[in-house]
Amino acid sequence: MTEQTAATTEQTAATTEQTAATTEQTAATGTAAPVRCAVTVPLSPDRAFALFTDGYHTWWPGHHIGTADLAEAVLEPRTGGRYYERGVDGSECEWGRVLACDPPHRIVVSWQITANGDEWVFDPDPAHASEFEVTFVPQPGGQTRVELEHRHIERHGAGAAGIRQGVSGPGGWAGILESYAKVAAAA
């Protein structure tokens, strides 16, 4: 078995265990366990933070909810900053807001995208938003561990199950952070 196959098998097993644990926790408490994932990149925390925020469009995989094809995804690195997509036709579609920003240590962003059946849509009510926090932890050798936690998914109400499945599934945060790590390795 190759290292990559072993890592994929380990990730699949971890996702299965996480899903079972989440189902139990949600049933018992009404709150969903956060989705967590991390990557280590060969950049200083300053550069890793800048790539994550200012360079968001360079590594975001193309997921979008607007009607136009995605031109870029934007994350404004300041408290109160916007989190949105811009379509190839110039249209903009909100995704959330930056709740806290402490460069180069962390950024917290509201996720105002909810599931409406199989479709993901913007929900303008911040009370229905989950949030994700990304921290940038210095590591030996000039590297940085980038840790992401997506929490309060239960706030999406009827759309919570679809959001959880999306952010914890194969096209979710783990794969998205791998895209970020590949761009960071080439930087």
- Domain of 71 in residue numbering reads as 37-186
Q: Is residue 43 part of a domain?
A: yes
Q: Residue 174 is which amino acid? A: A
Pair 41, 181: CB distance under 8 Å: yes
pLDDT of amino acid 25: 45
Please give the model's pTM, rounded to 2 decimal places: 0.83
pLDDT at 63 over 90: yes
pLDDT of amino acid 31: 81
Mean pLDDT of the chain: 87
Q: Is residue 69 part of a domain?
A: yes
User: For 65-118, what is each residue's pLDDT tens digit?
Assistant: 999 999 999 999 999 999 999 999 999 999 999 999 999 999 999 999 999 888
Q: The tokens 């699949």 sit on which residue?
A: 12
Q: Is residue 25 part of a domain?
A: no
pLDDT of amino acid 23: 42
Q: Is residue 47 part of a domain?
A: yes
- The tally of domains found in the chain comes to 1
Q: Is residue 135 part of a domain?
A: yes
Helix axes 160-168, 173-186, angle to 10 degrees: 40
Peptide bond into 45 cis (omega under 30): no
Give the CATH number for residue 55.
3.30.530.20
pLDDT of amino acid 179: 96
**Banded pLDDT at 29 (limits 50, 70, 90):** low
User: For 107-166, what is each residue's pLDDT tens digit?
Assistant: 999 999 999 888 999 999 999 999 999 999 999 999 999 999 999 999 999 999 999 999
Q: Is residue 28 part of a domain?
A: no
Q: Is residue 110 part of a domain?
A: yes
Q: Is residue 59 part of a domain?
A: yes
Helix axes 45-53, 173-186, angle to 10 degrees: 120
pLDDT of amino acid 11: 43
